[in-house]
Chains A and B, each alone.
Chain A
Amino acid sequence: MEFRRQNSFEPYFARAYNQHVIKPFKLVAIVLLSITSMVLLISCQPQPGAEAAAGASATIENKGSDTIVNLALAWAEEYQTIEPDVRISVTGGGSGTGIAALINGTVDIANASRKIKSEEEQEAQANGIAPVEFVIARDAIAVIVNPDNPVNQLTLQQISDIYSGKINNWMEVGGEDRPIVRLSRETNSGTHVYFLENVLRLGQKDNHTLFSTDTLLLPSSEGITAEIRQNPNALGYDGLGYVTDDVKIVAVAPDANSPSVPPSVETVNNGEYPIARDLYMYTAGEPQGAVKVYMEWILSPAAQQIVKELGFVPLQKE
């Protein structure tokens, strides 16, 4: 027996079995056990909001606009020091992504840099969720160029003509003889949609101007800043809170007869700067428990101070 085993040509596994190293039944049992435990683990993940009503050690899921994500993170961090029992997880992905998650019931608060669309509203209703809107801050969209570009101001009409492809050289708007490279955020960005409706189409409902097809659609704010930083041909736009010191902000005039206005807290709040918008948070139904307390805190002066520090425009108390 011993001899036969040593010289056997049986596959290793069968030999191992003979020597009682691994029993197949045991193997099967281990595999089955690990699969079951994995399934159990996945199904045991806490449902968002389920604990929120309990008060202590609540978790708030917060997702959406990339414009708001830094602000939401700063708020969440600050709130942690006030209410250590409430955990807030913040993710970006875009306004549409956040609202889609709210509709699917996977988040408690969706951040959006645009108003919820009527289709999204209907979809939410169909899922038994009634989104409630909160204006949480204001944001100016800054038009930015390379610091070497001599152009300091543009009218809304000029910006619209550049992005629709009617103006193709910086010379036509008082700059050097250089081609204009148009940069924009991707179409899933709330900033893109706002810019399309309020700058490219000048806020006119029956205006169907589109972006010129050779507009570069970059997937992130960082992509736009990186290109503008090194390319004197480039023109871009981004939320004021995201503009870094190594690019130049262009002052914008509402029309050819008005003075051009640089974006700032003052010019946005007094309505002089023409490209400003509200930022939103949506909750699934009237907020309850920890979410309610958090939303109230966000609208308080202490939280609005953080808005200002991050380069956004705080809400004015009326």
Chain B
Amino acid sequence: MRARNFGELMITALIRTTGYSAIVFVTMIFIFLLREGAPALTEVKLANFMQLRWYPIEDYFGLLPLIGGSLLVTFGAALFAVPLGIASAVFIAEIAPRWAREILKPLVEVLGGLPSVMLGFIGILIIAPAIRTLLNIPTGLTAFTGALLLGGMAIPTIVSVAEDALDAVPKTYRDAALAMGATRWQTIWRVTLPAARSGVLTAVMLGVGRAIGETMTVMMVTGNAPVFPTGLSNLFKPVRTMTATIAAEMGEVANGSVHYHVLFYIGIVLFLISLIVNLAAASVVFRQRKRAERILS
């Protein structure tokens, strides 16, 4: 009897540890980033961080071009991944016949498993030259090319999660809407989608999160020129993202040098940006749920 309790205790402890480990890991990552990146704040003047040139081997540490580059590529990716992703999810969940759905969903998920370096190759060899000739711009290695590929990578995530959320909406909701004379489109747009809103928002966050954190593809196709984007026209010019900068330069830096600390500082900025985006999304979902609870009570 005692031995059996011990066994159960072990299993419970194991499961509890894995559950809490997520919190522990995030905290540890943040502490590590802070420890390695914080010295940059004292070693580099704020004015140096705020300038528009990034050339670390000569101590130019302007972060704005990198932050701007990351935001531009992510924004571009979201711009077409979100509508396309949600539309595909709606099609698969609501409109497609059962047999099509059973083929489409696994196929989309396979698409999500494509290695990013492969997409990078396709980008360099096919998409970048095509974009250069189609749009008649000096080079095809642009933010737009990166956004296109990142969007392509985000779509499977968005479709898969959003479709699950739509699928979880009770059939009675749709029946009720249809019984009241709503068309199929009205049912989808006014009833099913709003009911699944929190799940769909999670899908969008996961997709955008994948886009902002992606490294290999953007490093290969965006040209990596640290130009500060001043408008949407920069979408068709080369940019350098934060992730590509860290990946390209981390191998070279001497451990503990100023450049090394600055690269970790960029990591902190990236971490904070994704934290803010996630918190904003969570608060929207949270508010949504409270209203729903009010209505139900």
Contacts and interface: CB of A to CB of B under 8 A. Distances in A.
Interface stretch (B50-58, B75-83, B275-283): B50-58
B7 A186 contact: no
A100 B224 contact: no
Contacts of B251: 93-94, 96-97, 188
Nearest to B228: A213
B27 to A, nearest CB: 24
A233 B223 CA distance: 14
Contacts of B65: 213
B227 interface: yes
A231 B124 contact: no
B152 interface: no
A63 to B, nearest CB: 11
A297 interface: no
Contacts of A180: 138
Contact of B7 (A13, A178, A187, A231): A13
Contacts of A14: 4, 7-8
A38 interface: no
B7 A119 contact: no
A11 B8 CA distance: 9
Contact of B55 (A13, A211, A234): A211
A223 B55 contact: no
Contacts, number: 104
A181 B138 contact: yes
Interface in B1-29: 3-4, 6-8, 10-11
A215 interface: yes
Interface string B132-162: 1000001111000000000000000000000
B261 interface: no
A231 B220 contact: no
B254 A100 contact: yes
Interface in A100-131: 100, 119-120, 123
Interface in B190-214: none
Contacts of B52: 213
B129 interface: yes
Nearest to A120: B254
Nearest to A189: B252
Contact of B53 (A178, A213, A226, A231): A213
A119 B259 CA distance: 14
A96 B252 contact: yes
Contacts of B138: 178-181, 233
Contacts of B3: 24
B254 A217 contact: no
A289 interface: no
Nearest to A186: B248
Contacts of B166: none
Nearest to B237: A214
A277 B219 CA distance: 28
B38 interface: no
B141 A227 contact: yes
A57 interface: no
A269 B191 CA distance: 78
Contacts of A100: 252, 254-255
Interface string B238-258: 101000000011011111000
A188 B141 contact: no
A155 B17 CA distance: 66
Interface string B57-75: 1101000010000000000
B123 to A, nearest CB: 10
A17 B252 contact: no
A24 B248 contact: no
Query: Of residues A178, A213, A219, which shows the largest number of chain B Cβ atoms within 10 Å of its Cβ?
Result: A213
Interface in A77-106: 93-94, 96-97, 100
A215 B225 CA distance: 5
B125 interface: yes
Contacts of A230: 129, 132
B124 A223 contact: yes
B6 A24 contact: yes
Contacts of B124: 223, 226-227
A151 B125 CA distance: 25
Given A217-B224, A217-B240, A227-B139, 4 more contacts: A17-B4, A186-B249, A219-B248, A227-B141
Interface of B: 3-4, 6-8, 10-11, 52-58, 60, 65, 124-125, 128-129, 132, 138-141, 219-220, 223-227, 237-238, 240, 248-249, 251-255
16 contacts: A14-B7, A17-B4, A94-B251, A100-B254, A186-B224, A187-B249, A213-B53, A214-B227, A216-B223, A216-B225, A217-B223, A217-B240, A217-B248, A227-B128, A231-B129, A233-B139
Interface of A: 11, 13-14, 17-18, 24, 27-28, 93-94, 96-97, 100, 119-120, 123, 178-181, 186-188, 193, 208, 210-211, 213-219, 223, 226-227, 230-231, 233-234
